[in-house]
Chain A
């Protein structure tokens, strides 16, 4: 089936460092979403992107919808310990509102205080 390739698979960084992760696909998506999941909980929506080339920020988080509509990246600036978790990208395709999301495999982030 369809897949999103998310990288890196994991990151171990020092508090205060910036973080970058990305997702790529061979297919075009209409919408890109970025979620964060804490252990034992459901994913929480961080940023939604709806237009090719769109750059959106949410506090220390910045995400972009690639111009080709086949990729997206998420940056976290000045990381803090509570940024620890698994970050997922998700792409939405289809005409109308089929609503089916395709998820990346996730990037596990660990932050050393």
Chain B
């Protein structure tokens, strides 16, 4: 089945550690996105990539890093510089073309031990 797969579903991090969240899509979409969701708030854009080997900062990129070495993969690293990393992280993708809606994975919940 085509879709967006995020793993793991739950992730725990010790203070001072970097962790990497996986996002893979087999929809042949060019663009991929990472969002952060906190309770009672809408989704906020962390990073996005519209083509392989290129990515742009979103609204809250500090403390995060990404790579886009393959079209189907867009991993997000939460670094130790991110002081409040506990949140629900969502990956999305869409095809290029005017105003194509984004489709989301099922998210990864990151918690600090």
Contact = CB atoms under 8 A, between A and B. Distances in A.
Interface of A: 1, 4, 6, 9, 30-31, 33, 35, 40-45, 48, 50, 88, 92, 96-101, 103-106
A104 B42 contact: yes
Given A41-B106, A88-B42, A105-B40, A97 B101 contact: no
Contacts of B6: 42
A42 B105 contact: yes
Interface stretch (B11-19, B67-75, B91-99): B91-99
A99 B50 contact: yes
B99 A92 contact: yes
Interface of A is mostly: loop
Contacts, number: 67
A100 B98 CA distance: 12
B104 A30 contact: no
Interface of B: 4, 6, 31, 33, 40-45, 48, 50, 58-59, 90, 92, 94, 96-107, 109
A99 B102 contact: yes
Nearest to A105: B42
B52 to A, nearest CB: 15
A112 to B, nearest CB: 22
A105 B45 contact: no
A42 B50 CA distance: 21
Contacts of B96: 97
Contacts of A6: 42
Task: From A31, A33, A88, A99, name the one whose CB has the most chain B CB atoms within 10 angstroms.
Answer: A99
